[in-house]
Structure 1
């Protein structure tokens, strides 16, 4: 089995980074360093070459990159993305967030963003594990875990990051170790996944996750609106009707939606349309006109203009570049 030495680095929590602070954590402990050594070794065995792959564990995705990649658009569904080696950048609205080995990113909502792995070499590849989150399980745990056990967090973003703990790293190590004994997956995987959910809800991002999962909170109502937009993004959008649907005034809805997602509802819908159009052109070989109408645009000219504003190039040139680079969305 191939092992690479995991170099402990000072980890900057994105929660503090996003507040403009330069707070640093202590070096990772020896125990967590050993766990990351094992995670790297197992991922190098599972991913002998650069790739993104699903696993026999439903909801678990593994990623390896040997070179930094260009920006890729995606819509994050509720996930935890544990960075085992390398660094990554996520752009959400006007915010640029960087995080790396020893940190995890959590998306509690469906969020359109742009990702790039910015630190990766053939000798020290970028390695990560992405696990889908079950919001219903978070809601159930929220009723069982005392509020005092949940860390306060005033940054109610849809996407946040924090330094990994020994417990989370160890849980992921035990989870991917099940891939060596697939007969154990049906019994043990649900227990470990529930354990990861527990550590998340009692960690630094727990307050935000709890509010996403709790009916009637402002962020939960925004989550309901996002769910509706994901299904109906092709349709004309009435902000007033959507606000009424989630039982908020229009001004309150707009304020909370922007606070949670960094976008206005209209901009959010536009990004959903453009990202889906890009996916249709890249994977289904649709031309720009067909993709534009498929996602709800009535004017190809408007689509081309907004596409170039979003991605920096006209549709045909952008998709050709992505194909040449072998890029995969998400």
Structure 2
């Protein structure tokens, strides 16, 4: 299989601009016929592939540009800024995102004969690596399976298992094994991030959070920043603000109500933080987002 074959298979299904859910719940396909504005979003445990065009993802102070022939693995929930950098009507951006099952990865890691983990410090929770031929082949077969919906329930889990085995044994493997190894810093931090995601509206006390994962506060802060590119407080703030943006877009809530809903005691502080992250006050930003959505809908219907 070649990357051009994968691009063809994605384009055959994702024929209009947008994000396309598929009959495989963990798999989404993506097309964009032009460069896009930087978008704040959460990347969870999963594998992103650009089959045609180019994309850029910013995590903290780290900027990752990737295109055909590369794969981007994310091991924990991360607030990032993402945008398409290459794509046009003749050759649109084509990509795919495959969410991974953390429990299945842990089980597979225990079953496989894998080399021991190194004692190197925790690295970032994103890994950009060349897309090896066997992994590309498995990903292409997974997309092709969408043309046989009656076989998805039986075959998709087998291909997804193969993909996870190849990820664990390939260049991305050390990142995933750090996540899977109980007691490793990455595993402990993933637990802390899961708690923050479920309790983002509560006041975060770093000392208590460090205690939850059996780390000293200083070690916790250091490892957290190494992994995510931001402090625990900055991480929680981004979770709050991204949830606030979705609430205002989807439920038409006003800024004051939204601020209280996501845990802010001060509406003015909420507005300042929101403007700092998204580049405009809440109401102006939401109007801009609504205009962009209308443009995307019009483009997909054209």
Q: TM-score category by the smaller chain?
A: over 0.9
2:247 is equivalent to residue 274 of structure 1: no
TM-score, normalised to structure 1's length? 0.86
Deviations 1:155-174 (A, max 9, x none): 62112211101111111111
- TM-aligned CA distance change 1:268 to 1:171, over 3 Å: same
- TM-aligned CA distance change 1:153 to 1:241, over 3 Å: closer
Specify the alignment match of 2:261 in structure 1.
294
Quote how far apart the aligned CAs of 1:111 are.
Answer: 0.7
Quote how far apart the aligned CAs of 1:144 are.
Answer: 2.2
Quote how far apart the aligned CAs of 1:47 are.
Answer: 1.6
Deviations 1:37-89 (A, max 9, x none): 22222222212211211111111001000011001111111110111011111
Contact 2:122/2:223 (CA < 8 Å) preserved in 1?
Answer: no
Specify the alignment match of 1:63 in structure 2.
30
* Counterpart among 127, 147, 158 of residue 160 in structure 1: 127
1:320 & 1:214 partners in 2: Cα distance? 45
Specify the alignment match of 2:19 in structure 1.
52
Structure 2 matches for 1:108-257, cutoff 5 A? 108-148=75-115, 156-257=123-224
Contact 1:153/1:206 (CA < 8 Å) preserved in 2?
Answer: no
Quote how far apart the aligned CAs of 1:101 are.
Answer: 1.1
2:49 is equivalent to residue 98 of structure 1: no
* Counterpart among 296, 309, 318 of residue 276 in structure 2: 309
Q: Which moved more, 1:130-139 or 1:152-161?
A: 152-161
Quote how far apart the aligned CAs of 1:316 are.
Answer: 1.2
Q: Secondary structure of the residue that 1:148 maps to in structure 2?
A: coil
Specify the alignment match of 1:319 in structure 2.
286
Specify the alignment match of 2:74 in structure 1.
107
RMSD: 1.8
Contact 1:81/1:131 (CA < 8 Å) preserved in 2?
Answer: yes
Quote how far apart the aligned CAs of 1:147 are.
Answer: 2.8
Q: Structure 2: state its 5+ residue gaps.
A: 297-302
Q: Which moved more, 1:139-148 or 1:314-323?
A: 139-148
- TM-aligned CA distance change 1:294 to 1:55, over 3 Å: same
2:59 & 2:26 partners in 1: Cα distance? 23
Contact 1:151/1:203 (CA < 8 Å) preserved in 2?
Answer: no
- TM-aligned CA distance change 1:151 to 1:201, over 3 Å: farther
Contact 2:138/2:159 (CA < 8 Å) preserved in 1?
Answer: yes
2:242 is equivalent to residue 265 of structure 1: no
Contact 2:7/2:95 (CA < 8 Å) preserved in 1?
Answer: no
Quote how far apart the aligned CAs of 1:152 are.
Answer: 10
Q: Structure 1: state its 5+ residue gaps.
A: 1-31
Contact 1:83/1:104 (CA < 8 Å) preserved in 2?
Answer: yes
Runs of 4+ in 1 over 4 A off after TM superposition: 149-155
- TM-aligned CA distance change 1:152 to 1:122, over 3 Å: farther
